[in-house]
Amino acid sequence: MLTAFLRAFRTPDLRRKLLFTIFIIAVFRLGSSLPTPGVSQKALQACLNTTGAKSNLFELVNLFSGGALLKLTVFALGIMPYITASIILQLLAVVIPRLETLRQEGQAGQAKITQYTRYLTIGLAILQSTGIIALATRGQLFGNCQAQVIPDQNLFTLAVMVVTMTAGTAIIMWFGELITERGVGNGMSILMFTSIAARIPTEGQNILQQGGGLVFTAICVFGLLIIGFSVYSLRSKLTLHLERDRPSWLAGIGFVAGILGGAYGMNGPPLAIYGALRRWSPQQFRATLQGYFLPASLVGLFGYAVMGLWTAPVTRYFVLSLPGILLAIVAGRALNRRLRGSTFLRFVYAGLAIVGIVLVGQALSR
């Protein structure tokens, strides 16, 4: 690998692309360290030292931003708005004929979809930056830390912070396109890897001290296996195939699903991998997963209630999430009727890749 890297530097065109990519990455990391105007760095550092993030969700998003989110920097949102916008448009292309037509028009149609993705990214960045700043002003971003992270909370200051973070997201999107066009390609993927890699030296020692090397290794292995299976399946024809159900496979899949379900609430990926190996149709996927998750969820709810974990805040959050659940059910039924078998499996593999990234992210953000 080192020999191939050195050989690439001897080629003028590749050397230029590599140096340009390294330069963009350096500027990207610099922006991830620049504080947003209006943030008290002293109070922010005190909150980070005492409480850290409030939840695993913030820790995970902080991982994908390279630690910029909880530092409230210019690039605090990272690439998450762009990724979310891309996923939303890919899903909408299945149910909106206009988007499907654009996808089939070649380069001109793809350019139009890219433009829509940019607009949606900016909209999501405005919403996310507003939410993060609102949490910071209320003292809810860092748990019980009472320090005033944003001392001056007038409307002008908050508006400047929202505009700054949104502009930072637009710049990140531009960086990704520059790397794709003038660098080594796959710009957004490189920036995402850069953000995650930037957290590894900082978090590695804490993980080993708090969770132990065995826990960390097991989570990373599960996550990387899921990611590897998904990427392999998306980029090539799946050669592995189970002709019939085997008790040994079923027992192994059930055991792994139980571990992931109990520890992280992610008991679906092993079942989805097994279904892909068995060449399940969309109808078989839907029926099997519904038949599994209904009793598993009821047992989980009963266990939470027995342990006293079903509290008033949990009930409130559940009620607030019901509209989203109902919307997901309606959208899922529509997608299930429209997707062909091969397209459905590609969505399954993409979802598995996201789950694998989340697992590795949770391990690295502990």
Whether the predicted pLDDT of 253 surpasses 90:
no
Residue 333 in any domain: the answer is: yes
Domain count, the chain: 2
What is the number of alpha carbons within 13 Å of residue 265 lying toward its C-beta? 7
Does residue 3 fall inside a structural domain? Answer: no
pLDDT at 137 over 50: yes
**Co-location of 179 and 245 in the same domain:** no
Is residue 282 domain-shared with residue 147, that is, in the same domain? no
Long-range contacts, 154-159 (Cβ 8 Å, 24+): 157/37, 157/38, 158/38, 158/133
Instruction: Give the model's pLDDT for residue 208.
Output: 60
1-15, 48-62, 91-105: the lowest-pLDDT one: 48-62
User: For residue 276, is it within any domain?
Assistant: yes
Residue 235 has what pLDDT?
Answer: 63
121 band by pLDDT with thresholds 50, 70 and 90: very high
For 151, the domain range is: 8-205
Same domain, 181 and 244: no
Q: What's the predicted TM-score (pTM) here?
A: 0.63
φ/ψ bin of 281: left (φ > 0), alpha (ψ from -120 to 50), beta (otherwise): beta
Counting Cβ atoms within 10 Å, is residue 207 exposed (0-12), middle (13-18) or buried (19+)? buried
Considering only CA atoms, give the Rg of the chain: 22
**Cα→Cα distances 68→35, 63, 64, 78, 195, Å:** 9, 8, 9, 7, 9
Same domain, 233 and 185: no
Distance, in Å, from the CA atom of 267 to the CA atom of 106, rounded to the nearest integer, reads 39
What is the rounded CA–CA span in Å between residue 271 and residue 263?
16
Q: What is the mean pLDDT of residues 189-199?
A: 77
**Residue 1 domain flag:** no
At residue 345, what is the residue type? L
In a domain, 2, yes or no: no
Average confidence (pLDDT) over 129-154? 80
Q: Is the domain of 146 the same as that of 247?
A: no
Which of 205, 234, 268 terminates a domain? The answer is 205
Q: Is 148 in the same domain as 271?
A: no
Question: Where residue 184 falls among pLDDT bands split at 50, 70, 90?
Answer: confident
Boundary-marking domain end, from 205, 236, 268 = 205
Q: What is the model's pLDDT at position 234?
A: 66
Q: How far apart are CA 149 and CA 45, in angstroms?
A: 9
User: What is the predicted pLDDT for the residue at 213?
Assistant: 65
pLDDT top residue among 256 and 110: 110
Q: pLDDT per residue over 162-174, tens digit each?
A: 999 999 999 999 9
Q: Which CA distances in Å does 96 have to 35, 208, 268?
A: 40, 47, 28
Structure confidence at residue 359 (pLDDT): 67
pLDDT in tens, 73-85: 888 888 888 888 8
Query: Would 46 be classed as within a structural domain?
Result: yes
- Tell me the pLDDT band of 119, cut-offs 50, 70 and 90: very high
Mean pLDDT (whole number) for 123-143: 84
Query: Which residue, among 129, 116, 111, 112, has the nearest Cα to 169 in the 3D structure?
Result: 129
pLDDT at residue 264 greater than cutoff 80: no
* Residue 135 and residue 42 share a domain: yes
* Residue at which a domain ends, from 156, 178, 205: 205
Look up residue 365 and give its amino acid: S
49 and 193 fall within a common domain? yes
| pLDDT over 50 at 53, yes or no | no
Look at residues 91, 84, 54 and name the one whose alpha carbon lies nearest to residue 70: 54
For residue 54, pLDDT over 50 is answered with no
Least confident of 21-30, 126-135, 138-147, 279-288: 138-147
> What's the CATH number where 46 sits?
1.10.3370.10
Which run of H or E residues covers position 278?
Answer: none
Whether pLDDT at 237 is above 70: no
The residues facing 73 across adjacent strands are 35
Residue 233 covered by a domain: yes
Q: What is the mean pLDDT of the chain?
A: 76
Tell me, yes or no, whether 241 and 322 share the same domain.
Answer: yes
Looking at the fold, whether 63 and 145 belong to one and the same domain comes out as: yes
Distance of alpha carbon 283 from alpha carbon 268, whole angstroms: 16
**Above 80 in pLDDT, residue 159?**
yes
36 and 135: one domain? Answer: yes
Cβ contact 24:179 at 8 Å: yes
**Would 312 be classed as within a structural domain?**
yes
Cα 217 off chain centre by:
20
Q: Are residues 147 and 225 in the same domain?
A: no
Q: Is the pLDDT of residue 37 over 80?
A: yes
Distance CA 321, CA 309 (A): 18
Task: Provide the pLDDT for residue 23.
Answer: 92
Select the highest-mean-pLDDT range: 7-11, 163-167, 176-180, 184-188. Answer: 163-167
